Amino acid sequence: MSATLPETPATSVPAAAPNQLFPFVLQLADTSLILAHRLSEWCGHGPVLEQDLAMANIALDMLGEARSYYQYAAELEGQGRTEDDLAYLRSAVEYRNPLLVEQPNGDFAHTILRQFLFDNFHYHLLRKLKDGPNAQLAAIAEKSVKEAAYHLKWSSEWVIRLGDGTDESRKRLDKAIATLWRFGSELTTPTATETALQEIGVLPDYAALLTEMQAHTEHVFAEATVPLPAPVFAQLGGKTGRHTEHLGYLLSELQYMQRTYPGLTW
Amino acid sequence: METLEKVLTPEEQFQARIDADIRIEPKDWMPDAYRKTLIRQISQHAHSELVGMLPEGNWITRAPSLKRKSILLAKVQDEAGHGLYLYSAAETLGTTRDQMLADLHSGKAKYSSIFNYPTLSWADMGCVGWLVDGAAILNQVPLCRTSYGPYARAMVRVCKEESFHQRQGFEVMQTLCEGAPVQKEMAQEALNRWWWPTLMMFGPKDADSPNTAQSMNWRIKRFTNDELRQKFVDMMVPQAEFLGLTVPDEKVKWNEERQAYDFGEVNWDEFWAVVKGNGLCNHERLQARVDAHEEGAWVREAANAHAAKRAAREAVAA
Ligand SMILES: [Fe+2]
Ligand SMILES: [Fe+2]
Ligand SMILES: [Fe+2]
């Protein structure tokens, strides 16, 4: 699929955009940070050394991407806040990540399925953003899309291995699907902010992404010999600050130092 | 030359190559004891990289800034990479990673005792990088010239990254020491806990290290434990002073005549207790590795089963 975005130069983004752009860039930042944090919890405890390395590697990519978004968000806001202020000094209700990425690691099958659902969206979104009209987002996406392509390859291959592996791995993958599938739709369900950005062409239409995502999912699940899960009731809310209970604990760990020793440099 | 070779036994030829600093490669003849000693040494080193991920991994989720989080994660990831190179180097001697891991999990194989100490504050991330990686560098740089080729080559790759590890640790300490009083206290408190255990990283005193002579002869060790410990103290005391920190040893004093620092005696009872498994974290470090391995068994089995199915399908197709 080719980009459906208008060929507008960055300078002609409508003046209303920054108001919508700040919360959206923050949403991208929170999403990458929270998933990086979850993946980093595996560090030293992976099922085999090579996969320990792979998860740390993906976590590092996503952390780097998160930092780029936070720095851009801070610039857009123009209130003197830094990347660390945004990451460490906002409460759970202020966080804008979708519910999927804050879900606990569970076993390796849960981690893989969470990653697959996210990567499938992330990669296809970045492909559009890199050719989009917002120069900063395009630059970040240009760098991240190569990493995201690798992430999607990695998680897709593991869905296939676990689905078409042993009885046990299949059982565990099924359980992960039962737990996590309901969080997948939030990624492509636009919030008011996202709709506004779609209307001015800064964001692609998610319906176009969905077609590509769906095709990839069908391909991977067929290889994995796993029937496509039936649609389930979609859980939404993270992108507007209504989270599951898991996020509070994650943030209390993530923010521990900054909250305990306010205002210091590390 | 030919006549000379004829009168030399294989052992003598082997030693002659070592004395001439010619690398031993996997297919070369080597004495059994050399092979066994190397397997023990390299696998212990690999296990140390693996277990060494845990004390620092303990702070990845609590790192105080995004930049620190990213540096720490990259560092711990490097250690996993070091583990991989080293397991591969040991495998060239005829063992397998499964066997080495089984020996780690059963307690037969050792890893560096330093990782049996807990990481209690953010300053520990400074001390581990600065002191523990610093000690590792002193131990490892000479191994880049060790007699066994695959080990020497693995160490070249490892050492390149270790200097970045030490630098980031020192930088964490420096930031703390230039920060608020509470940060400087945190740095001093961590140094107080890590100083003596890092001195223990060089192993028992030379007098209590009976294998050193043979290892030096084989050039799989190039300095004695006490020599390395002295180098470490000479390197670190000025760095601590630069940071404005005090090394927790009243006996530390520059000795003009020796052109080296005098220092106090390591608590060898503590050293042997931790080596024997009685350090504060021995149990949980080993248990964490055993748990990861056991809980990962189904994943490894699934990957193997899938690879076999795929190979079978491709064989039919071909
Ligand atoms: Fe390293
Ligand atoms: Fe290392
Ligand atoms: Fe290191």
| Residues A212/A1, Cβ–Cβ less than 8 Å | yes
Residue count of chain B: 318
The pLDDT of residue A108 is above 90: yes
Hey, of B65, B82, B87, B101, which one would you mutate to test binding to chain A, going by the most A CBs within 10 A of its CB?
B65
Cβ-Cβ contacts under 8 Å for B278 (sequence gap 6 or more)? none
The pLDDT of residue B242 is above 80: yes
- Read off the tokens for B124: 């520990």
A-to-B residue pairs, Cβ atoms closer than 8 angstroms: 133
Q: Per-residue pLDDT averaged across A126-145, rounded?
A: 97
Model pLDDT for residues A155-168, shown as the tens digit of each residue: 999 999 999 999 99
Q: What angle do CA B120, B123, B128 make, to 5 degrees?
A: 85
- Residue in chain A closest to B168 (alpha carbons) equals A266
**DSSP H helices in A96-245:** 99-102, 108-129, 135-163, 167-180, 192-199, 206-223
CB nearest to B302's CB, from A66, A162, A265: A162
- Read off the tokens for A143: 């760098």
A64 interaction partners in chain B (CB closer than 8 Å): 70
Position B46, amino acid: A
The pLDDT of residue A7 is above 70: no
- Residue A17: band (very low, low, confident or very high) from pLDDT cuts 50, 70, 90: low
Q: What angle do CA A227, A228, A230 make, to 5 degrees?
A: 115
Position A123, amino acid: Y
Query: By C-alpha distance, which of B265, B223, B278 is closest to B113?
Result: B278
Query: By C-alpha distance, which of B266, B115, B122 is closest to B190?
Result: B122
B238 Cα: distance to centroid of ligand 3 (angstroms): 22
- CB-CB under 8 Å, A67 with B66: yes
- Residue B221: band (very low, low, confident or very high) from pLDDT cuts 50, 70, 90: confident
Model pLDDT for residues B187-216, shown as the tens digit of each residue: 999 999 999 999 999 999 999 998 888 988
- CB-CB under 8 Å, A165 with B306: yes
CB nearest to A266's CB, from B65, B74, B288: B65
Q: Per-residue pLDDT averaged across A102-112, rounded?
A: 98
Cβ-Cβ contacts under 8 Å for B61 (sequence gap 6 or more)? A37, A40, A41, A253, A254
How many Cβ atoms from other residues are within 10 Å of residue B41's Cβ? Answer: 20
The pLDDT of residue B21 is above 60: yes
How deeply is B314 buried, as exposed, middle or buried, from its count of CB atoms within 10 A (0-12, 13-18, 19+)? exposed
Q: Per-residue pLDDT averaged across A197-203, rounded?
A: 95
Measured between alpha carbons, how far is A60 from B70 in angstroms, rounded to an integer? 6
A52 interaction partners in chain B (CB closer than 8 Å): 53, 80
Measured between alpha carbons, how far is B242 from B248 in angstroms, rounded to an integer? 15
A63 Cα: distance to centroid of ligand 3 (angstroms): 21
How many Cβ atoms from other residues are within 10 Å of residue B208's Cβ? Answer: 12
Give the 3-state secondary structure of residue B34: helix
B49 Cα: distance to centroid of ligand 2 (angstroms): 5
Among the residue ranges B72-76, B159-163, B256-260, the one predicted with the least confidence is B159-163
- Residue A18: band (very low, low, confident or very high) from pLDDT cuts 50, 70, 90: low
What interface predicted TM-score (ipTM) does this complex get?
0.94
Measured between alpha carbons, how far is B253 from B69 in angstroms, rounded to an integer? 37
- Residue in chain A closest to B78 (alpha carbons) equals A53
Give the 3-state secondary structure of residue A129: helix
Hey, of A34, A40, A83, A159, which one would you mutate to test binding to chain B, going by the most B CBs within 10 A of its CB?
A40
Cα B258–chain centre separation = 29
Model pLDDT for residues B50-99, shown as the tens digit of each residue: 999 999 999 999 999 999 999 999 999 999 999 999 999 999 999 999 99
In this structure, which ligand is nearest to the CA of B133? 3
Compute the mean pLDDT over every residue in chain A, rounded to the nearest whole number.
94
The widest CA-to-CA distance across chain B, in whole angstroms, is 78
CB nearest to B60's CB, from A33, A40, A266: A40
Q: Provide the whole-model pTM.
A: 0.94
- Read off the tokens for A135: 């120069």
Residue B202 φ then ψ, to 5° = -85, 0
- Residue A6: band (very low, low, confident or very high) from pLDDT cuts 50, 70, 90: very low
B83 Cα: distance to centroid of ligand 1 (angstroms): 9
The pLDDT of residue A115 is above 80: yes
B13-29: b or e for each residue (b if 16 or more CB lie within 10 Å)?
ebbebbeeeebbeeeee
Q: Per-residue pLDDT averaged across A117-137, rounded?
A: 97
A165 interaction partners in chain B (CB closer than 8 Å): 301-303, 305-306
- Read off the tokens for A132: 């989009």
Measured between alpha carbons, how far is B296 from A175 in angstroms, rounded to an integer? 17
| Residues B169/B133, Cβ–Cβ less than 8 Å | yes
Measured between alpha carbons, how far is B311 from B143 in angstroms, rounded to an integer? 41
The pLDDT of residue B153 is above 90: yes
The pLDDT of residue A64 is above 90: yes
- For residue B5, the distance in angstroms to the closest alpha carbon of chain A comes to 45
- Residue in chain A closest to B74 (alpha carbons) equals A60
The widest CA-to-CA distance across chain A, in whole angstroms, is 56
